[in-house]
Structure 1
Amino acid sequence: MSTIRWTEDHSRRSARWHSENHSPLPRRVVVADDRMRADHACRHAADGTALLWRGDFHNARQLLQAMGRRLDRRPPRPGSTPSESFDLHRRSRAHRAGILGKVLVLLEDDYTIALRRAPDVRLACQEAYGPPQGPVIVSLRELLGVIGARQWRVKGVDVPALDARIHPHYGVFSPVRGEYVDLVAHTPLPSTIEHRSVTTTAFDLGTGTGVLAAVLARRGVERVVATDISPRALACAKENIHRLALSGRIDVKGPCLFPEGRADLIVCNPPWLPARPTGPVEQGVYDPDSTMLNGFLTQLTAHLRPGGEGWLVLSDLAEHLGLRTRRQLLAAIHEAGLRVTDRVDTKPGHPRAQNTTDPLHAARSAEITSLWRLTSATWPPRASRHDPCAGAVRSALRRGPGSC
């Protein structure tokens, strides 16, 4: 743990520094209160000076909002290519996050905040950070994310495919985009699952909240093994599966990608964009160098039972952004000794796809989410020999966004 130091009331003080996105220690820390104006705060932050807030908590939130509005007055310029636009957008968001992350708050020994009108954040911080270990300083922006995650954890996210709610934990990707869940919920199961005399088994790789594992169990797969590399995700999945009364059907294992053994069906919904995440929540969106995607493809055959299928759930947003080509994806599938037997497509219905002010609107509006059905190239194909990559859009897409 790093230690952050500052002067207050003519005394030198210190506390542990914690940052979920691994932001470095600020070069300098000054005490700020309700007299601090947003323009001055932005200038301090741009110079590398952090502001330890000692005023009213609600005023600190208003200051953060005012700083955000000032930063948003100069949106990133569009690039000459989709990939350049994406890079400029990411740099702009990182700069914005760095400036706003300079407003700090001190959490006391038990995670209380000694500020006027401060909320009780003790339980939210324990769920996100673990048991308290003395005073700690965090950015107000991160703390607001912790508070919001606690609210999502209590409220849950409605999942129509389960007729139930899934409760995400802090740092675990929430299933708010339902199209990938619907694809797994409605795509016909492999015929081997219907005709096996032994217990049917499925793997859900990168399970996150456990939502896809629960969908597979509800569809009749007798045994599901859910894995993840994140301890937070493993704890989250176990809690959701217990809440859904599916603990007898689903085993949560990890941290790992593949569990031991073989399965009739292996489902993987990897992060869709080959870029580096800047924090724990972004790990559900960004996959550096397509590490998880390639790991799934190269190890799939070794973990499939004869006649089994791998389901790769993947958006083509990376293709529209110039981060990966369809040719590269197909080459990776071929080199892994796999065959595409079918592809089911659907159009996302999330609000960002309709937001014309989004600098990445052109790519988002063209996005398609697909479920690729993969088998070992050495296994006799049971599907027709059409080219699944030549525009096979199933009835799900014809019925409209969100259906499958």
Structure 2
Amino acid sequence: MNTTPTLAWTEEGRPVTARWRSEAGVMPPRRVEVVDDTVTADEAYHLACGGTALLYRGDYQNARQLLQAMARRVDRPPHRPRRKPAAKGEAALASPADAFHKHRMAQAQRARILGMVLIPLDADYGIPLRRAPEVRDACTEAWGTPDATPSVASLREILGLIGAHEWRKKGVPIAPLAASIHPWYGVYSPVRGEYLQLIDQAPLPAKTLAFDIGTGTGVIAAVLARRGVQQVVGTERDARALACARENISRLGYDRAVKIVEADLFPEGKAPLIVCNPPWVPAKANAPIEHAIYDPDSQMLKGFLNGLAAHLSPGGEGWLILSDLAEHLGLRTRETLLSWIHGAGLVVLARHDVRPHHPKAGDANDPLHAARSAEVTSLWRLGVRPA
């Protein structure tokens, strides 16, 4: 049975279908209206909010401008009537957790509305619109070799593919490596450099062997190899991340020191150093790329802690790289984290902290500014608790 999703619409009085592409797994819109350069931003915004997608047949650059105009309307603060100050005893201000969930809902709604501007693609990933860019390489990197089938995707996703392709080409400079890492589409880019600084400076318990759990782009494995660890085993279960990490390790010249293997958390055997940088926020991801940030019910974090003691060599250390953002958002307490560490038969040997350097930490207009401005990233050095 063919499970490839298709988009159906009516154009020039006849029914049309095409393959529907969505990396985020968004279902094809049920209502589609064909539009061109004459559609206004207000009309497009109204249709998108009502659940009608707009298949663009005009100029590509005009479609981009339309999307930007719609984004401004989505981001416009809603008009609210002035309210009297809360009387004593009335409900308090929203908690940090409530503010976080409201922010996530707004992000999902924004993505839904802006995802309603659709772009056609030829069977070879060409865009049959005036002034359209060349996107064949970007689409091939994300979707694989063209299958000779015309398709439709949201313009927002196409722009994401183009951006990811540019990052993959030029790379992300990594100070501890004195080189760049080249992230693939769908593999989280190591833009938070402060945690790599911690890994580069923490005292190594040994230089014989290390495991890098959930290696992603392979950046942590590469930093450990550059520090002189003789053998590093990086694990991943995502096929795209496995290929990305292997390419980065080869590009950096660490093929002999680093081995990337497919595994769910731990590889076979034990090591004197096991490093893990799990997703930092216990919440549901809205898109595949967000799995590197959001970890429902802290599943990966708990999996790492619960399996660490069994995979550490005697006297070895587990390095847990974790931000305390979840604590400031009210999604997890420090006491809960410490109880998980204790319950896994582990003890905290030391902790190294650093403040984040990313732009949102200083953006007072960010809805989560209070939490972000207080955030600290830590490298927890864990050992097996003596019996």
In 2, Cα distance between equivalents of 1:75 and 1:323: 27
- Report the CA distance shift for 1:320/1:59 in structure 2 as closer, same or farther (over 3 A): same
> Gaps spanning 5+ residues in structure 1: where?
195-199, 380-404
Contact persistence 1:76–1:92 (CA under 8 A): no
In 2, Cα distance between equivalents of 1:371 and 1:75: 41
Structure 1 consecutive aligned stretches of length 4 or more whose deviation exceeds 4 Å: 75-79
**Does residue 126 in structure 1 map to residue 140 in structure 2?**
yes
Question: Which of 22, 31, 36 is the matching residue for 1:33?
Answer: 36
1:337 corresponds in structure 2 to 345
> Gaps spanning 5+ residues in structure 2: where?
81-91
Contact persistence 1:76–1:89 (CA under 8 A): no
**Does residue 74 in structure 1 map to residue 77 in structure 2?**
yes
Q: How does 1:173-212 map to 2 (within 5 A)?
A: 173-190=188-205, 193=206, 200-212=208-220
**Does residue 219 in structure 1 map to residue 222 in structure 2?**
no
Q: How far 1:255 sits from its partner (Å)?
A: 4.4
1:87 corresponds in structure 2 to 101
In 1, Cα distance between equivalents of 2:237 and 2:100: 27
1:260 corresponds in structure 2 to 268
In 2, Cα distance between equivalents of 1:248 and 1:79: 56
Question: Which of 298, 312, 317 is the matching residue for 1:304?
Answer: 312
Q: Normalization by structure 1: what TM-score?
A: 0.90
1:53 maps to amino acid: Y
In 1, Cα distance between equivalents of 2:215 and 2:234: 6
Q: How far 1:11 sits from its partner (Å)?
A: 2.1
In 2, Cα distance between equivalents of 1:47 and 1:127: 33
In 2, Cα distance between equivalents of 1:14 and 1:264: 57
Contact persistence 1:76–1:88 (CA under 8 A): no
1:399 corresponds in structure 2 to none
Question: Which of 45, 49, 52 is the matching residue for 1:46?
Answer: 49
**Deviates further, 97-106 or 133-142:** 133-142
In 2, Cα distance between equivalents of 1:76 and 1:183: 45
Q: Normalization by structure 2: what TM-score?
A: 0.94
2:172 corresponds in structure 1 to 157
Contact persistence 1:208–1:233 (CA under 8 A): yes
Residue aligned with 1:161, SS? helix
Question: Which of 335, 339, 350 is the matching residue for 1:327?
Answer: 335
Contact persistence 1:313–1:370 (CA under 8 A): yes
Q: Deviations over 1:96-117 (max 9, x none)?
A: 1100000011111111110000
**Does residue 172 in structure 1 map to residue 180 in structure 2?**
no
1:9 corresponds in structure 2 to 12
2:85 corresponds in structure 1 to none
Residue aligned with 2:315, SS? strand
**Does residue 137 in structure 1 map to residue 145 in structure 2?**
no
**Deviates further, 11-20 or 96-105:** 11-20
In 1, Cα distance between equivalents of 2:42 and 2:183: 36
Q: How far 1:19 sits from its partner (Å)?
A: 1.2
In 1, Cα distance between equivalents of 2:56 and 2:297: 39
Residue aligned with 2:192, SS? coil
1:371 corresponds in structure 2 to 379
- Report the CA distance shift for 1:316/1:100 in structure 2 as closer, same or farther (over 3 A): same
- Report the CA distance shift for 1:85/1:219 in structure 2 as closer, same or farther (over 3 A): same
In 2, Cα distance between equivalents of 1:74 and 1:277: 25
1:390 corresponds in structure 2 to none
Question: Which of 293, 296, 305 is the matching residue for 1:285?
Answer: 293
Identity across the alignment (%): 59
1:391 corresponds in structure 2 to none
2:224 maps to amino acid: L
2:122 corresponds in structure 1 to 108
Q: How far 1:145 sits from its partner (Å)?
A: 0.3
Q: How many residues are aligned here?
A: 372
